[in-house]
């Protein structure tokens, strides 16, 4: 199963990249979670933030597969330990690709290679629309969407 999204954003790729990879940017678009990583291929990453285990809840973790600043970020990902006891067995791949198009950026996200019967896939299907819409809005306006609680 593959989840694929394409967004056209009225901002240059470096601005979109900053939102995708900086602590401040990811806190704004990923429900208060920061992306923490050394951003080297083969190195680990975590999205940490408020949750059932306090402010340092690990929501998603995995390994960086590709890191090309301003162009491509690919990662294997697992749900955090507080979500499923078999979290290490549950995996998918997330790949962001940025393409400059004039004064805009085409952002493509592919979330694929899902472990069979992955219980988080339906949640991801619903959440990606909010996250990607928030990236677009933040890059274009400097503000995030007020989606409520």
Higher per-residue pLDDT: 140 or 1 = 140
Model pLDDT, residue 137: 96
Model pLDDT, residue 55: 86
- Supply the mean pLDDT for the chain: 94
Contacts of 127 (CB under 8 A, 6+ apart): none
Model pLDDT, residue 148: 65
Which uninterrupted H or E stretch holds 61? strand 54-68
pTM of the predicted structure, to 2 decimals: 0.92
Q: Is 21's pLDDT higher than 80?
A: yes
3-state secondary structure of 76: strand
For residue 140, CA distances in Å to 32, 33, 59, 60 come to 20, 21, 27, 27
Model pLDDT, residue 149: 53
pLDDT digits (tens, 9 = 90+) for 38-65: 999 999 999 999 988 888 899 999 999 9
Domains present along the chain, CATH in parentheses: 3-141 (3.30.530.20)
For residue 121, CA distances in Å to 92, 124, 128 come to 9, 5, 11
Q: Are strands 104-112 and 54-68 parallel, antiparallel or unpaired?
A: unpaired
Model pLDDT, residue 1: 85
Q: Is 66's pLDDT higher than 90?
A: yes
Give the lowest-confidence range in 26-30, 69-73, 103-107.
26-30
């Amino acid at each position: 199963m593959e989840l694929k999204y394409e967004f056209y954003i009225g901002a240059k790729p470096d601005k979109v990249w900053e939102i995708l990879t900086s602590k401040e940017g990811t806190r704004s678009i990923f429900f208060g979670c920061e992306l923490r990583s050394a951003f080297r291929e083969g190195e680990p990453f975590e999205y940490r933030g408020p949750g059932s285990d306090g402010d340092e809840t690990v929501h998603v973790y995995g390994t960086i597969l590709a890191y090309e600043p301003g162009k491509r970020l690919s990662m294997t990902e697992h749900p955090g330990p507080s979500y499923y006891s078999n979290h290490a067995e549950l995996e998918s791949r997330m790949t962001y690709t940025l393409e400059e198009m004039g004064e805009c950026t085409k952002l493509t996200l592919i979330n694929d290679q899902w472990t069979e019967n992955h219980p988080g896939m339906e949640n991801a299907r619903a959440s990606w629309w909010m996250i990607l819409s928030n990236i677009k809005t933040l890059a274009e306006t400097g503000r995030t969407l007020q989606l409520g609680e």
